[in-house]
Amino acid sequence: MKYLIIGNSAGALGAVEGIRRLDKAGTITVLGEEPYRAYSRPMITRLLKGEADVDGIAMRSPDYYRSMGVELVTGVAAESLDLDANRVSATDGKSYDWDRLLLACGSKPLVPPVPGLADLPYVTFLTADDALAIRERVVNGGCRRIGVIGGGLIGLSLAEALMDMGAEPLIFEQMPRILPSIISDGVAGRLAGMLVDRGLAIYAGSGVAAVEKTGAGYVIRLNDGSMHEVDLVAVAAGVRPRTELVSAILPEGARYLPVDAGMATGQEGIYACGDMVSLPEQLSGTSKPIPTWPNAYMGGRTAGYNMAGGKADIRVALPFNAFHYFNIALATAGCSVAVNGDETVVWDNGAYREVMLRDGRISGFAALGDIDNGGLLSWLMRRGADVSACGAEIAAPDFSHLSLSPELRRELEETVKEGQNEGSGSY
């Protein structure tokens, strides 16, 4: 069996490990566009700060590809797919055949259509080379005030690293709050207060109207009329799926490539995972993108397992986000901003938590400050447990399994004993 994996990040690692659970002999080829072994994208802050090189943030040991029987081809991108011949042509002039193909192409930065932006040498912060390029501009280029367009996870991680380096990041978020897609006003307001206390400049609630060149730097003009002089502009306004390669199999009008819970695309022998796909989200069952690192890995692993003849659904099809920036912990899971009809249970005493309930079942939560035992809430959410009997206690940081019903406690014990349902993919 010939396996071909396009992409060399979390999804590819998952796929290699999934394939090798069932097939020790098949040949696996991984095409990686970047000239590196798979590295941790969230750790590119260490490259920016000069604390590590790319090898230092590698996800696996140096002999990983050899020991897993993988041919890694780096610095080569796929150019076009021939679906009839099961063949990919690549930028190295070669073509690569497959019996089973995994598309793990990831995402690219979304660059908002701000007048003036496209014409200037802005930076983004998604790859190792991005981080090294920003480092060059800060350390050798004299850039000190850096305008970061976007107050999401990428923007905040960039801002933290820049502040550690002695630079002065300014966050511009067009929505009224930071991290608008994963936390509510209540969480974001408290987090923003803590970040401002630590010296971070945050301008939320007004989009960027234009960016103009001025002298050695740039002026960022917001819709509210205010002007901010910066030395460098960083775009951190979110990501877009990289689906150029698969335009032939992308449903009309779809932005993401849809897959089923087994990560199959519906095309014979072709699977996909990670930031480029939408998949049946676990609570609603509707097809949604879940552009998180754990989802890419788990999707890749499920895909690999199924490519090798297994039959499994992705174990967890929900978003999880956690960070520790500026020495502040934040964790979110599921639908972490209440939607119509959700009941929000709030804990606001030292730490802050919001737990969203839908028909007595957890649909999502956000924890700020103390994230201890957040995994218990995730487990209850994943299995759709009725927690209405827990009342307000569900949001308390010291909520534990001791408060669960005897049936749920037994089930939790069984889950652990079974090593978390190995191979079944049933949750």
Partner 1 sequence: MKRVVCNENYCIGCKLCSVYCITSHSRYKDPVRAFKRQGLSGEERNRLRELGHVSVTQRCQHCSDPLCVQACLTGALYKDKDGAVLHDEDKCAVCGTCMVVCPVGGLTRNGGKGLIRKCDLCRDTDEPACVANCPNGALKVVEE
Applying CB under 8 A, which residues contact partner 1? Answer: 14, 40-43, 57-60, 293-294, 297-298, 301, 315-316, 320-324, 327, 329, 331-333, 369-376, 378-379, 398, 400-403, 412, 415-423
- Closer to partner 1 by CB, 79 or 323: give it: 323
Tell me whether residue 286 or residue 327 sits nearer to partner 1 (CB atom).
327
Shortest gap between Cβ of 300 and partner 1 (angstroms)? 10
Radius of gyration of the chain (CA): 22
Closer residue to partner 1 in complex, CB, 124/321: 321
Burial of 29 (0-12, 13-18, 19+ CB in 10 A): middle
Number of Cβ within a 10 Å radius of residue 169: 25
Nearer to partner 1, 230 or 345 (CB): 345
CA distances from 81 to 170, 264, 278, 368 (A): 42, 17, 20, 45
CB 60, min distance to partner 1, A? 6
> Can you give the length of the chain in residues?
427
CB of 39 to partner 1, least distance (A): 9
Q: How far apart are CA 50 and CA 132, in angstroms?
A: 9
In angstroms, give the least distance from the CB of 59 to partner 1: 4
For partner 1, the closer CB: 81 or 296: 296
In whole angstroms, what separates CA 67 from the centre of its chain? 27
Tell me the C-alpha distance between 330 and 323, whole Å. 5
Q: How far is the CB of 41 from partner 1 (least distance, A)?
A: 8
Rounded to a whole number of angstroms, the minimum distance from the CB of residue 244 to partner 1 is 26
CA–CA gap between residue 406 and residue 415 (Å, rounded): 14
Q: Are 149 and 114 in contact (CB under 8 A)?
A: yes
| Pick 221 or 382: Cβ nearer partner 1 | 382
